[in-house]
Amino acid sequence: MLNLCLPTDMTDSNKMIINLALFGMTQSGKSSAGNILLGSTDFHSSFSPCSVTKDCCLGRSCHLCGFMRRGGQEITLQIQVLDTPGYPHSRLKQEHVKQEVKEALAHHFGQEGLHLALLVQRADVPLCGQEASSSVQMIQELLGHAWKNYTAILFTHAEKIEEAGFSEDKYLHEASDTLLTLLNSIQHRYIFQYKKGNSLNEQRIKILERIMEFIKENCYQVLTFK
């Protein structure tokens, strides 16, 4: 169980702020995933035949005491998540979305930097074709040449692959060439998000622990934007 604490309970030396950005196609589950990461309902999320998110929005979690240890000290974690419009978008032009996200990255993470970009992909929808690769191309353009070191895939609706009789390994073994190529590029950084059988808090802990593994592998380095 995650323990919440007030800012007065800590000093700067034992506090860590993790900055994340969500990318992905319309109805991939970005906003819902963001809410799980934050442990809140900051982002509007609903089923719709069209794109729901139209603007970038930054959400902040409560302080999570004793989430991890670093240098012999317990670290209090705070998560900041940037939710972005679906790309391609059902109503907004691609250039508009790209410019909106570019400005939001610079505004929110310009100095503090971005720890990880999460490409949100439905596990029950194959990643293939030009439309599916549009989000990847946007990440490449906005994050620059180092994008491969700061990107991971978050598979939503992972319970669907269990219902179909697939293990995670079998699912990835039989995945499209497009997905396998992408996973190779980003050093196989991926997370499966399940809804069935787990409480939201359990999902959150597992996903955050996995994210922190990736960030630690990067030696806590960040991407900055101007």
Determine the pLDDT at residue 67.
82
d(C-alpha 61, C-alpha 77), whole Å: 9
User: What are residue 17's phi and psi, to 5 degrees?
Assistant: -105, 125
Determine the pLDDT at residue 187.
96
Coil vs helix vs strand at 2:
coil
Determine the pLDDT at residue 70.
82
The whole-chain average pLDDT of the chain stands at 86
d(C-alpha 163, C-alpha 15), whole Å: 40
Determine the pLDDT at residue 48.
58
Q: What pLDDT, in 10s, does the model give residues 134-173? A: 889 999 999 999 999 999 999 999 999 989 999 999 999 9
Whole-model pTM? 0.90
- Assigned CATH class of 15-218: alpha beta
Q: What pLDDT, in 10s, does the model give residues 46-100? A: 565 656 667 899 999 998 888 888 878 888 999 999 999 987 655 768 888 899 9
CB 9 within 8 A of CB 1: no
